[in-house]
Structure 1
Amino acid sequence: MKNFLIALLFLLSFYQGSAQKMTTLTYFQNDTLKLDLDLFLPAKTSGKKLPLLLYVHGGGFSGGERQSGHSLCNYMAQNGYASATITYTLYAKGKKFSCDGVLSEKIKAFQYAVNDLWLATSFFIKNSEKYGIDTSKIFIAGSSAGAETVLHAAFWDFKTMNLYDNSLPAGFKYAGLVSGAGAIMDLNLITKTNVIPMFFFHGNGDKTVPYGTAPHHYCKTDASGWLMLFGSYSIYNHIVNLNESGTLYTFCGGGHEYSGYLFEKEHHTILNFLNDVLAGKKFQKHEIVPTGKRNELSTAYKFCD
């Protein structure tokens, strides 16, 4: 019995020592809006400033919740990163966001989410000493709508698209990004000057967010909500042509259900990418992942045959 109690106390002390600290913080508030985030920090630190990962959940800019990023953020904290999952403005809630939507409203949904991510970024830059953040090592990651958010946050012109009395340091760049089934409105936004290391994963049978280049939801050209998007495959090839670092996981035949797959089930792939970036490694890798599903949209991707 005595040995059992000793063993139990040891396990409890080990768990408490390795448990990560989670704190809910308000990163922005005005008369009409209050935005929170959940920050996970390593239980033990070396005293050095920490790299930071900011996670943006999916949900079509109309749903979802920041708690969906808890398992990823906790894992990152266990491995020496500060990590936060954010609440953001769900501008499309109650609005049409598919082919029968209004194009300007769809773009506003992107813009509000991007601005909230910029606000969260500013919060940590301003409070970097308090939370021990290395502001040169801020990464962003997101799934679906969250992936579209991080892509536009990284490459939209801040002065043009900023909605709030907010600022980021001149010349600020994210250290890298992870996009799960995301896309960008204009491939030309990504240039040799502003490109950063990127990690994409996407099903090439995605009927919601195109894997290659196609309209959002594959809308017909006369649709009121028609919006051309450049998906993971198109962006990856673009950054390879720029001779910059990128990784793409293609889930052959997979649909939009794979938009959160690595965030939910293979956290180590995200960690490996971030560690490689911080180590200064150069990489261009396309990983083919069989799913047993048939791609109904296209046979153009011969690597999935």
Structure 2
Amino acid sequence: MKKIVFLLFTFFTFYNSQAQEVKTLTYFQNDTLKLDLDLYLPKVKAGEKIPLIMFAFGGGFSGGERTSEKDFGKFMAENGYAVASISYSLYMKGKDFGCKGTLTEKIKAIQIGVSDMWQATGFLIENAAKYNLDTSKIFISGISAGAEIGFHASFWDYKLMNLYKSNIPENFRYKGFIGGSGAIQDINLITKEKAIPMLLAHGSNDDTVPYNAGSHRSCPTNASGWLILFGSYAVYNQMNDLHKDIELITFCGGGHEFSGYLFHDGKQYVLDFVNDVLKGKKFQSHLIVPSKKSVKSDKYLFCD
């Protein structure tokens, strides 16, 4: 019996190790900057094209690592999806990204991160044949600052906002967006023509990135770093008004600690979402999950 168990363990260990591979690739390099990505690839049959999920880590544009969500990359690869976890320029490293910072610097940090994401996306489109990637099925995702990259990469005009020479094909659009505790600067960028399916998760009492419409880091209006952002709940309402596909998971009373939920404990939600999008399923849902904090504050009574 022990021998059988050992053989089964050996088989499944071998199978899982063969079910995917990880390649580290340089997607951008000049005299002063080198940016890499980790590409998690599933094993597929010859000629089979793989859907791709672009991913950007969180860290306030000043910290974080592309390797922080290895388990997410491996999980999705085991289920037939490629994941590209990118490094991007940490423009705010050593600078104040809070209320005492500078508004223009905050916006520039986002623009640089978005330009890096577009560059990585274009690089993989250009090399799609080499890695069997399906360029018509590219999703974008991220946590916190990475989700802000994802939002703006999805809705900004890359011809106007891209800081590099564009390598994105004409009329390219991401297939869908998965965001943890992110926000967008202008809700009106999300139009009926530009809307893409979304899966979002956010704590309703997040004082770092607003859950609804509010200031970044809860800064007062007279702060030099005051920046209005539209968070997941505002985006959910906008998408509902447009009758577009969106799923929102609200952690009632929760803060920014839930920013990584979809890429940690909620990976199955992501898998179900991308599967549903590719099957053409239509959906609108809002799941409210009480957090461990007491749900008594007037700030989030709307969760009830």
**Same topology, TM > 0.5:** yes
Structure 2: how far apart are the matches of 1:241 and 1:147?
Answer: 22
Query: What CA distance in whole angstroms lies between the structure 1 residues aligned with 2:256 and 2:295?
Result: 12
**For residues 154 and 131 of structure 1, what CA distance do their matches in structure 2 show?**
23
Aligned to 1:41: 41
Deviation of the 1:85 alpha carbon: 0.8
Counterpart for residue 257 of structure 1: 257
- Aligned-residue offset at 1:205: 0.5
Percent of aligned pairs with the same amino acid? 55
Match of 1:133, as an amino acid?
L
Q: How much does 1:262 deviate?
A: 2.0
- The aligned amino acid for 2:6 is L
Bigger Cα displacement from structure 2, 221-230 vs 36-45: 36-45
Q: TM-score, normalised by structure 2?
A: 0.95
Q: Tell me the amino acid that sits aligned with residue 176 of structure 1.
A: G
Instruction: State the match for 2:268 in structure 1.
Output: 268
Task: Identify if the C-alpha distance between structure 1 residues 294 and 46 changes in structure 2 by more than 3 Å, giving closer, same or farther.
Answer: farther
Q: What residue is the counterpart of 1:291 in the other structure?
A: 291
* C-alpha deviation, 1:297, in angstroms: 7.2
1:299: how far off?
3.4
Partner of residue 9 from structure 2, selected from 8, 11, 16? 11
Contact kept in structure 1, 2:253 and 2:300, CA below 8 Å: no
Partner SS state of residue 223, structure 2: coil
The aligned counterpart of 2:202 is 202
Letter in 1 for 2:170: A
Other structure's SS at 1:289 match: strand
Query: Do 2:158 and 2:166's aligned partners in 1 also have CA atoms closer than 8 Å?
Result: no
Aligned AA (1:199): L
Partner of 2:114: 114
Root mean square deviation of aligned Cα: 1.6
Look up the SS of the partner of 1:265 in the other structure: coil
Matched, 1:216 2:216: yes
Q: For 1:274 and 1:155, locate their aligned partners in 2 and report how far apart those are by CA, in whole Å.
A: 19
- Do the aligned partners of 2:252 and 2:300 also contact (CA within 8 Å) in 1? no
Q: Secondary structure at the match of 1:26?
A: strand
Structure 1 length-normalised TM: 0.95
C-alpha contact (below 8 Å) 2:159/2:166 kept by paired residues: no
- Letter matched to residue 120 of structure 1: A
Q: Is the 8 A contact 1:205 1:295 kept in 2?
A: no
Gaps of 5+ in 1: none
Distance 1:182 1:83 in 2: 19
Mapped contact 1:55–1:84 kept (Cα < 8 A) = yes
Q: What amino acid maps onto 1:54 in structure 2? A: M
Give the structure 2 partner of residue 147 of structure 1: 147
Contact 2:53–2:81 (Cα < 8 Å) also in 1: yes
The one-letter amino acid of 2:253's match is G
Q: Tell me the distance in 2 between the aligned counterparts of 1:280 and 1:14.
A: 33
